[in-house]
Structure 1
Amino acid sequence: MGFSYFDNNATTKMDEEVLKAMLPFLQESYGNASAVQHKLGRQANGAIEQARIQLASALNAQPKEIFFTSGATESISTVFQGIFKAYQSIGNHIISCASEHKAVVSSCQALAKQGAKQTMLSCNNHGQIDLQELEAAIQPDTILVSLMAANNETGLLHPIAEIADICQRKDVLFFCDATQHIGKLPLNLQAIPIDILCFSAHKFHGPKGIGALYIRRKSKPIQIPAMILGGNQEHGFRGGTYAVPQLVGMGEASRHFQFNSNLSELRDYFESRLIAEVPEVSVHAQQCPRTPNTSNVLIKHVRSTELMTKLPDMAFSSGSACVSGSRDPSHVLKAMGLSDEDAYCSSRFSFSKYNTREEIDQAVQQIKAAVETIRKQSPIWQLYQEGLI
């Protein structure tokens, strides 16, 4: 049996076309993109501007609205720190949600120590927010609403078009972490008036260590000061030598987005097979709009860490890769009202175009066998079956 990879929300396999596009800029065309006085520098500069055009095209944005970063975490820190600093004259109130990615939650916590006021929206047991609660939370001193497009642990989709409309009517900036949305579902930034948006290339079969920040061009420009000072790269927004191969790879990866039903069919097949084969299995947010590739399953009284130990040739996760070493239960699942035990017993499987039905069939049988072994050795499972807990 080979190794099965079902952890595509953590990172994805790089496409062959992406690697081929990158190789010349690792070897022959190795110039510094800022050294435009000579041929190699101009080649590199032209390549990154082409990547900017490719990304803008994929999102129906303008190339001048795309700013390169090392990835979504840097983008999130830049936005939170920058907006808080630049909009003090308006206020210091930020709105987000407890089920956001750890990078957003940590940024909120950091700004609270600097005096920011915060409203953390609640969510229901599926992870959905109440749009009326959001609208009521916006005050005259609100400077930023930060809500993700798709949850990284459950795949739940927030209604970003409606959120953008509320923020536009209330004249407050809407920042959207679209890291798990880009490449899985179409996103038209002309149709949805998101003000600021971030993503990372390695989530859509591009290279690691590179991402981008979209900042809408408005009649009253959005003010986000640079966090990284240096040269005049990115029009002074982010100093530092351009990572040309990674940028080329990200641009190329954006050309290969595939929006079809294959992934959702694969996900649904996995869930139906698992529920049929393994007792006491449920899927978080199963009846809600989700990304087509993500399945977060609760297998009663089988901890995710135990399951991973029994399945060394299968990659899946207990939640976000950023906090996978934490001993605490998932903050996302806790925000959805799960008990610690049920959170610990939830596992995330996330698929890609490289997965197959045959792989799913094999995986379900392996999971079934592992669950049976774990439960046979579990006194808690015995008590649960007897109705004593």
Structure 2
Amino acid sequence: MTQQHEGAVLELDLGPIAHGGFCVARSEGRVVFVRGGLPGEKVRARVLDDSKASHWFAATREVLVADEHRVDPVCPVAGVCGGCDFQHVQIDFQRELKRRVVAEQLQRIAGIDWEGAVEPADADEDGLGWRTRMHYRTRDGVPALRAFRSHDLVAVPAEGCPISHPSGRAAARDAAAGAEEVQVVVSGTGADRTRVSVLADGVLVEGPATVTESCGPLQWKVDAGGFWQVHPRAAKVLTAAVLDGLQPRQGEKALDLYCGVGLFAGVLARAGARVEGVEISRRAVTLARRNVTGRFIVGRTERSMRQLSSRADLVVLDPPRKGAGRKVVAEILTRRPRAVAHVACDPASLARDLSLFAEGGYRPASIRAFDLFPMTHHVECVAILVPATED
């Protein structure tokens, strides 16, 4: 592996946005994925990774010709920290860039022409202060995050990470003084998010070990260190999209795959469905059984689906970033549900899964995208799939 170009500064004309938050440029015929730029800009960028012969990664260091949507980042370490990709981009245009990525991935991988928009979680959102769950390393006794494509640590500003929920910033500073790793969870019901739980090196040092999260009239118990959507409005936005797409009917059988503590199972049960779920985390399943009336099993989804009912009217799946894959999709198809809701945090894996569903005779009736991770390149999608023979 050659390192002779790492650290070199290149003058580049930036092309289209690509998956991962990069702009695509070329240098002497080689593709360079550039962080911190905007399509159409001319920049000087430092090469960060030249380990691949076909493409390099670089980060913008100087903007020579700026796009009109460029703004000054709120955070002084935004260009170095790996947490935010788009602090230099006006918030509405961040969503436009994400829209382009979703459309490109769906068309290129799945052959789907998508003309939707990336919807904000809140129309008045400025993209800051939303992240209710933060995982820090520490550097010199202060909270820190990984640098982009590096194991180096970048200390967050003294006033806290700007995208972290304000209620947890002081607790993060306090815990970091005596720990190497800190998790901060801000929880509460509705707009009242003032309860803070802190784990320092895996040990609870502040707040409840089990927190309460809500969505409308429903509540779920979640381990402080367990999984729950990090945006305060994410649960409401996603469950509304799933319910609107599936239109559950009284008495229908519904499967919740990768169910966690039962978020989607809970709203489906409230709508009258009989629910079953599967989740790899034993603790999450224990909580799901407390949170929701239904049947929940522990195991890897791809290995455990045959323990679930052999027929289902509805299926919800919220897989990890890599997607569901062929085995899970095949198991869903054997049940011939009347509708499937695929909740995806990665447009490329969503497109791959949609291609697999298409092979089995299911097409997307709708695909919606949501900006639940402002200032980052991440985007959440909800695809509703139905048998292709339906009008």
Do they superpose with TM above 0.5? no
- Whose strand fraction is larger, Structure 1's or Structure 2's? 2
Q: TM-score, normalised by structure 1?
A: 0.35
Q: TM-score, normalised by structure 2?
A: 0.35
For CA contacts below 8 A with separation 6 or more, give which structure has more relative contact order.
1
- Whose helix fraction is larger, Structure 1's or Structure 2's? 1
